[in-house]
Amino acid sequence: MLPAIFGLAGPVLSAEEEDLIRRTDPLGFILFARNIDHPEQVKALTDALKALTGRDNTPILIDQEGGRVARLGPPHWRVWPPALDFARVYAQSPDRAKAAVLCNYQALALDLVALGISVNCAPVLDVPEVGAHDIIGDRAFGAEPAVIAELGGALLEGFALAGVVGVIKHIPGHGRALADSHEALPRVTASIEALNRDLKPFKALAHAPMAMTAHIVYDAWDEQRCATLSPRVIRDVIREEIGFDGLLMTDDLDMKALEGPVPLSGRQSLAAGCDVVLNCWGRMADMRGLAEQLPPATSACLRRLSEAMAIWRAPPPTAEIVEQQIDLLAERDRLLQGN
């Protein structure tokens, strides 16, 4: 198995993509708005991907956080609130907020289940810092590590109840970055003491099945390399200090925070200790380069993948999904209104 998660060019697989998938057996795939038209089309696409890999539990990812990060939207899918909305409820009633989060994200995950999508890249566990870039903003469950951990844990529970795997991000923390790593390489100069505060949500949810790295240089840990490419950060901080032993994927290798060819960044991230690379944009040259240059998935990667995907299960009938969502959303709204 190739330790890569590939994006796709459009809503239907091309002959080139089908051939590449058959030859290389990538670990998984990620969908974006360009891959999404209507429910029947998305389900046909995910069915085709599973047929090509021969694995019903092939990880098929999406970024469906709610709020401003949502690949599924009207007219076929409902709008979901941003994470910060639940933090505001938490200030009034922690118990109501946690229960509302569980209901909301279980219902959201059922949208994915109906489409054959098995992994959602959430929750955001970054702790936003005043004065930092607003790339995180309302995507986080507030600005207090303990609250972020509690509500992030409820989100993961809601996903798991629906049979969807969550991905904690952006480990070891994006909240202090002064730049958007999609556009530039951020450098965080904070002290170890300050960074320890940012680690708290990740430590609390170190049992999560999957995590996504941050393309950020943390001077206190490694002045030369961003976390995705740093053996020290991955080994000493993510694996040892945080205690995360789940499947560790890179953030998108196409982001401008990383320099050089995508296949080179992919090799470097695996050498640093990541389990799998994320290559989102469906560019055939990059995917072929990764297929040629990456080693096969390690035994540790395959073990972590198997343990993570144990959460996935075959979806229930559509009518049952709809009924569950109606009940969950009614309960969520009751909780949010304080009734």
pLDDT, tens only, 55-70: 999 999 999 999 999 9
The model's pTM: 0.96
Peptide bond into 123 cis (omega under 30): yes
Mean pLDDT over all residues of the chain? 96
Whether the pLDDT of residue 132 is over 90: the answer is no
Burial 98-134 (b: 16+ CB within 10 A, else e): bbbbbbbbbbbbbbbbbbbbbbbbbbbbbbbbeebbe
How many angstroms separate the CA atoms of 171 and 199, rounded? 8
DSSP letter (8 states) at residue 238: I
Q: What is the rounded distance in angstroms from the CA atom of residue 141 to the CA atom of residue 138?
A: 7
Structural domain count of the chain: 1
- Within 10 angstroms of residue 334's Cβ, the number of other Cβ atoms is 14
Which whole number is the average pLDDT over 318-339? 94
Q: Stretch 124-133: mean pLDDT, rounded? A: 94
Q: Determine contact, residues 4/290, Cβ cutoff 8 Å.
A: yes
What CATH number is associated with residue 134? Answer: 3.20.20.300
The tokens for 15 are: 């002959």
Q: What is the DSSP letter of 226?
A: -
Kindly indicate the confidence band of residue 240, based on its pLDDT and cuts at 50, 70 and 90.
Answer: very high
CA distance 57 to 308: 10
CB 170 within 8 A of CB 212: yes
251 is catalytic: yes
137-to-142, 168, 258 alpha-carbon distances in Å: 8, 16, 23
| pLDDT for position 338 | 83
Q: Tell me how far apart the alpha carbons of residues 218 and 7 are, in angstroms, rounded to a whole number.
A: 28
* Closest to 214 measured CA to CA, from 247, 245, 257, 254: 257
> What CA–CA distances, in Å, run from 327 to 19, 172, 258?
43, 36, 44
Assign 279 to helix, strand or coil: strand
Of the candidates 19, 38, 47, 182, the residue annotated as catalytic is 182
- Among 163, 139, 164, 141, CA closest to 152: 141
Q: List, for residues 198-218, the tens digit of each pLDDT value.
A: 999 999 999 999 999 999 999
Catalytic residue among 85, 251, 275, 286: 251
The string of pLDDT tens digits covering residues 165-184 is 999 999 999 999 888 888 88
Identify the domain containing residue 86 by its residue range. 2-336
**In the structure encoding, which two tokens stand for residue 145, read together?**
């590590």
- Smallest CA-to-CA distance from 33 within 78, 54, 3, 63 is with 63
**Residue 185 confidence (pLDDT) above 80:** yes
pLDDT tens for 243-282 read 999 999 999 999 888 989 999 999 999 999 999 999 999 9
Residue 339 in this model has a pLDDT that exceeds 80: no
- Concerning whether 76 is annotated as a catalytic residue, the answer is no
